[in-house]
Amino acid sequence: MWENPIFLREMRIRLPKHRGVRIGVLIMAAVFLLTVYLRMITELAQRNINSDADILWAILVWVQFLFTLFAAPAYAANAFSREKEQQTWDLLLTTPLTASEIVLGKLMGRFAIFLLPIVLILPLEILIAFALGYYTNGLFFLTLLTLLIFTFFFISLSLYASWCLSRTLYAQIVSYTVLIGILCIGTSLLTAAVLVLSSISTGTTNSSSQLPWLWLNPIYLFSLLFEKPTDHLYQLGVGLFVYLVLGTLMIYHIIHNLRRHRE
């Protein structure tokens, strides 16, 4: 993948072009992260480490998740539509690159950018997880896996919208509509409506966790990581499996159609 010219091109576009600027940004980021890490570690050592670490853990992982949820469509929905708008798509198809190399280069070029915040915050999360004992119950690894699968699905959906539509704006609108409008807000409103109607008709309130469409709500699934006791983690497993399969199918469909287009 590191030798894939599409991947390298995507990374060069999104990183500062001048080497001195890149080095300066890296140095400033390293100093900032080191300062933040030392400050937080000192605070945790001086206070009640269990309560403060638990709150800090929740803040860190939620910020990463929400950032990916809201930023992925804006950032990844131009993968193919931008090529069409700039009239470089036909030129790209004349290269000796295979369909898999083109699509996976686009995918990994964007995935790497969203992976960067996770990697930068990972040392602090490791320290907090160690203090909370999240290694023994596997919660640290489950949280990391959840973030990676959601990132993959959000980017795959945005790439698929960009492949199907010729304008970046339209692809972004469709991506946000599906992720935010349907999966997040739509399933929540449907759940609320069903619960209200059930309460009116039977006089009792059913559990929302038993409604299967809510298992596809990204925010609900991510909140299960913080549920105590962890009685509904199986729903998270089902949702992550569905999203992993859907993301893979969308990437495969793009590759398959690109092969047919080039024949």
Q: What percent of the chain has pLDDT over 90?
A: 27
The residue type at 69 = L
Question: What would the mean pLDDT of 201-229 be, rounded to a whole number?
Answer: 78
Q: Look at residue 89 in the predicted model and tell me its pLDDT.
A: 81
Q: Look at residue 110 in the predicted model and tell me its pLDDT.
A: 87
Closest CA to 60 of 127, 15, 111: 127
Q: Is the pLDDT of residue 262 over 50?
A: yes
Q: Look at residue 21 in the predicted model and tell me its pLDDT.
A: 45
Q: Model-level pTM greater than 0.85?
A: no
230 backbone dihedrals φ, ψ, rounded to 5°: -85, 70
* Structural domain spans, the chain: 5-262
> Distances in Å between the alpha carbon of 237 and those of 153, 224, 241, 245, 250?
15, 10, 6, 12, 20
Q: Is the pLDDT of residue 43 over 60?
A: no
- Give the torsion sign (CA, 219, 221, 222, 228): positive
Closest CA to 250 of 53, 109, 106: 106
Question: What would the mean pLDDT of 208-220 be, rounded to a whole number?
Answer: 82
| Averaged confidence pLDDT in the chain | 80
Q: Look at residue 212 in the predicted model and tell me its pLDDT.
A: 81
Interval 135-144: pLDDT, tens: 777 888 999 9
Interval 149-182: pLDDT, tens: 999 999 999 999 999 988 889 999 999 999 999 9
76: left (phi over 0), alpha (psi -120 to 50) or beta: alpha
Interval 98-146: pLDDT, tens: 888 889 888 988 898 888 888 878 877 777 777 777 777 788 899 999 9
Q: What tokens does 227 get?
A: 């549920």
Q: Is the pLDDT of residue 63 over 50?
A: yes
Token look-up 């907090």 returns 128
Q: Look at residue 22 in the predicted model and tell me its pLDDT.
A: 47
With bands split at pLDDT 50, 70 and 90, how would you rate the model's confidence at 31?
low
Q: How many residues does the chain have?
A: 263
